[in-house]
Amino acid sequence: SIMPATLSAISKGARQGILFKGGVHLEHLSHLRAVAFDKTGTLTKGEPEVTDFLTDEREMKATVLSVVSSIENESNHPLAQAIVRYAEKSATPLPPVEDVKDHSGKGVCGYFKGEEWKIGKADLVGKEAAASFMNNYGERLASDGKTVIFVSRDKEVIGLFALKDTVRKEAKMAISALKEHGIYTVMLTGDNPTTAKAIAREAGIDNYIAECMPDQKQQEIKNMKQHFTHVGMVGDGINDAPALAEADVGIAMGEGTDVALETADIVLMKNDLPKIEEAIQVSKKMNQVIK
Ligand code: ADP
Ligand code: MG
């Protein structure tokens, strides 16, 4: 049976917009030593916008944009949707493309007039092929915290897009509050290291793991558990679910995907990151009452 102090802490949490799925999570919360955060949709709003579009194919700029947006139109990744919206602004036509394939955590490929187009990170289009674009433009864009994605046509890199997502304004405050409890904070992202570093700095987070493939997040939590007695994970996406389950305390953003909400131990209503520290305070008070 559930103890009165636990019950009262759970209802206090609910009034503050924190949903605890059981008393045991309150107990674990007070012992957290490290917390990992997903980047997109958790630390950032998850609504990227295209800020730059560059291509060598000057006379073909409109064609490049239309082929890219036709291919991205078949992906439901937030970056893909942002590119489609950007193309819509210039009333770009969507020519027919074939064999579109999503490569989770890397990008998307498809065929146009018999040529293979790839849109995504350097890894996907080929690191060497992307190098001159990366050196000339990519590094500078990434160090502004923008996500850089490349476009290749039959293995030749012909352009890039930069997209900027906004760091939630309360993220910095939420993280500094955790640091005051002596909690180590880490960001997990599939983005490149330069972009990751800029976003981590903006959010004031202790460390980051970049180029983290969606299925690697769980392993990163496992590794953290070897160094810290209690590890938390905060996320919103389908990809975050295994990591949320692996963590001692899984915390989902209230407007996250159903799978994240179902898997998590705690749900933050209204995506409100500072509630994490409030939840820790509720749990510490509860433990004082019980002891
Ligand atoms: P995050 O960890 O930021 O949520 P993902 O793991 O979903 O990102 O993707 C990692 C990277 O793969 C993105 O930063 C982007 O470079 C590339 N990528 C993934 N999906 C797409 C797509 N549909 N179009 C272009 N690039 C993509
Ligand atoms: Mg996310």
Nearest to 241 by CA among 226, 229, 231, 253: 253
Average pLDDT over residues 85-114: 95
Token pair of 168, please? Answer: 């939630």
Superfamily of segment(s) 49-164 = Calcium-transporting ATPase, cytoplasmic domain N (3.40.1110.10)
* From 38, 165, 236, 240, active-site residue: 38
Continuous H helices in 92-233: 122-125, 127-133, 139-142, 171-180, 193-203, 217-227
How many Cβ atoms are within 10 Å of 104's Cβ, its own excluded?
14
Give the tens place of pLDDT for each residue, 193-232: 999 999 999 999 999 999 999 889 999 999 999 999 999 9
Residue 291 has pLDDT above 70, yes or no: no
Percent of the chain with pLDDT over 90: 90
Q: Distance between CA 59 and CA 68 in Å, rounded?
A: 16
Q: How confident is the model at residue 256 (pLDDT cuts 50, 70, 90)?
A: very high
Q: What is the pLDDT of residue 267?
A: 97
* Domain ranges for the chain: 4-45+168-290, 49-164
Q: What is the pLDDT of residue 287?
A: 84
Q: What separation in Å is there between the alpha carbon of 107 and the centre of ligand 1?
A: 6
Q: What separation in Å is there between the alpha carbon of 160 and the centre of ligand 2?
A: 23
Residue 135 three-state SS: helix
Question: Residue 38 catalytic?
Answer: yes
- Ligand 1 neighbourhood includes 240 CB (under 6 angstroms): no
Q: What is the pLDDT of residue 59?
A: 78
Token pair of 174, please? Answer: 């939420």
CATH for the stretch 4-45+168-290: 3.40.50.1000
Nearest-CA residue for ligand 1 atom 14 is 191
Contact indicator for 166, 44 with CB cutoff of 8 Å: yes
- Ligand 1 neighbourhood includes 42 CB (under 6 angstroms): no
Instruction: Decide whether 4-45+168-290 matches 49-164 in CATH topology.
Output: no
